[in-house]
Structure 1
Amino acid sequence: MQDVDLSRRWFLRRGKPAGPQPVRPPWAETEHFTDLCTRCGACIAACVDGVLVAGDGGFPEAVFETGECSFCGDCANACPEPIFVSRALDPWQIVASIGEACLAAGGTYCRSCGDACPETAIGFEVTLGGRAKAQVDGEACSGCGACVSVCPVGAVRVAPAEEGAGHGR
């Protein structure tokens, strides 16, 4: 049973939360996550990468501003609830995206996100005028978030994959 009705909370705040929906732990059942999660914090305590934090209502969510997910599975192993699906499946359906604030798109040489990507899913296409445009290969992107914390201007985010944008790992 859900202790926190997030839809009510959003209604009282006059609408949906600003920005994208939170990224839940890898392999977590996201459709009914807030119904199944008891907010015990076991997955957060088990996260050796430090990317899981207590988010809105105390529910765990992944934030990549300080690091990346190594997909170790410790969060899933620590959870006492039936929230996590088989690790034989993709850990989640999220991919990186590069925003307009990207330094490379503005003509400044920067390849931080591409250098940090363990999947080599971020490449740079040189356009007219010698500017490079960062491009994410949605099929290769695992959604680990390694590219987020290294971006000097915060132009990279990891969010649910949009239709046709790839599926993650």
Structure 2
Amino acid sequence: MDVSRRRFLGARVPGPAPFRPPWSVVEAAFLDRCTRCDDCVKACPTGLLQRGDGGYPEADFSAAACTFCGDCAKACASGAIGRDTTQPPWSFGVVIGEGCLAAQNVECRICGEACDAGAIRFRPRIGGVPLPDVDLAACTGCGACIAPCPVVAVTRKALPSALEQS
């Protein structure tokens, strides 16, 4: 079937799976196990977890960040969110796109100021303002840098280890 014809007729092209709560099992198992009870959403102290499509919880970084408190994992009785909070919560980092104000020669360091892990540093450059540089090894994936960006240049990026497990 011609994909362009499907788009023309209004069919939705499936996109990537939404970001689930930290320590969630793989997407297929998550959808099978999650009862959509909202216990994890209610337990989230920052408001990061929201009810998403189909009533399943999603991590919404547009207004909050993850503190990795583990309250969502403790509240989940179905096993959709793992209990081993000593493991990484998810495998993603951030990417700063070309729309970044610093790339347009406008001084802005908001993402770096929001990053408690110090994963975003600003490298000087000749003839322009310093550019942000993300150290993915230091990035915790908390998402604190995403919401404050005034031009929405900071986005999530799945790390290779996440792609290999899927």
Fold equivalence (TM over 0.5): yes
> Is 2:60 the partner of 1:63?
yes
Q: Taking structure 1 as the reference length, what is the TM-score of the superposition?
A: 0.82
Aligned pair count reads: 151
Work out the CA distance in 1 between the residues paired with 2:137 and 2:90.
Answer: 13
Structure 1 stretch displaced more, 140-149 or 80-89: 80-89
Question: Which residue pairs with 1:28 in the alignment?
Answer: 24
2:117 to 95, 116, 119: 119
Identity %: 46
Tell me the amino acid that sits aligned with residue 153 of structure 1: V
- Cα deviation 1:20-59 (Å, max 9, x = unaligned): 4311111111242111111111100111110001111111
Equivalence map 1:14-25=2 (5 Å): 14-17=12-15, 20-25=16-21
Q: Which has the larger radius of gyration?
A: 2
Taking the aligned partners of 1:55 and 1:159, their CA distance within structure 2 comes to: 20
Q: Assess if the C-alpha contact under 8 Å between 1:98 and 1:157 holds in 2.
A: yes
In the TM superposition, residue 126 of structure 1 has moved relative to its aligned partner by 2.5
Q: Tell me the alpha carbon deviations over residues 65-117 of structure 1, each in whole angstroms, 9 at most, x when there is no partner.
A: 11211111111111111122211111111111111110011100000000110
Unmatched tracts of structure 1, length 5 or more: 1-11, 165-169
Deviation at 1:160, TM superposition (A): 2.0
How far apart are 1:63 and its partner, in Å? 1.0
Equivalent-residue separation in structure 2 for 1:103 and 1:77 (angstroms): 40
Distance apart, 1:163 and its partner CA: 5.9
| Cα RMSD after superposing both structures | 1.8
- Could you say what secondary structure the match of 2:131 adopts? strand
List per-residue Cα deviations over 1:118-168 (Å, max 9, x = no partner).
10000122234223221111110000011011111111122422469xxxx
What is the alpha-carbon distance in structure 1 between the residues aligned to residue 36 and residue 97 of structure 2? 32
Structure 2 gaps, min length 5 = 1-9
TM-score scaled by length of structure 2:
0.84
